[in-house]
Amino acid sequence: MKTIVVIDDDHGIRNALSDWFALKGFNSITAADGVTGLNLTQFHQPDLVICDFRMPIMNGLETLKALRNDSAIKHIPFWLATAELDLDHFSEGAQLGASGFLKKPFEVADVSRTLSCIA
């Protein structure tokens, strides 16, 4: 079974994504901040990481940068989720190696698209 790490400081979003992935046959592990999410990613070596852009402690870009600097996990697809449409954020995320972006609020088709990179 493929595993997805969901990192978001919003409990409701974490649970909704986790439940949806479970219905689709994926195991999901959740974290409320980037530090915890990075640690879980290092430990579990998931097939995909979906991470909120704005979070306390370590934001999405900082989490992505740390992941891409770790040779053991830098290959894992990493999608940034954001309600903001700031092109600078998208540009910086792309430069750091984001695999894709999810716009909040989520559409089922957009979340499904993230799974295409691990199917």
For residue 94, the one-letter residue type is A
Name the residue range of residue 104's domain: 3-115
Average pLDDT for 62-90: 90
CA 83 to CA 53: how far, in whole Å? Answer: 8
Total residue count of the chain as it appears in this document: 119
Three-state DSSP state, 61: helix
Q: Which pLDDT tens digit goes with each residue over 87-97? A: 667 788 889 99
Our count of domains for the chain comes to: 1
Residues of the chain with pLDDT > 90: what percent? 71
Give yes or no for a cis peptide into 46 (omega within 30° of 0).
no
Instruction: Using the predicted structure, report yes or no on whether residue 72 has a pLDDT greater than 90.
Output: yes
- CATH at 48: 3.40.50.2300
Query: pLDDT-based confidence at 106, cuts 50/70/90?
Result: confident
In the predicted model, what is the mean pLDDT of residues 24-34?
A: 97
Helix (H) or strand (E) holding 14: helix 11-23
Predicted structure pTM score: 0.94
What rounded mean pLDDT belongs to the chain?
Answer: 93
What average pLDDT score do residues 30-53 get?
97
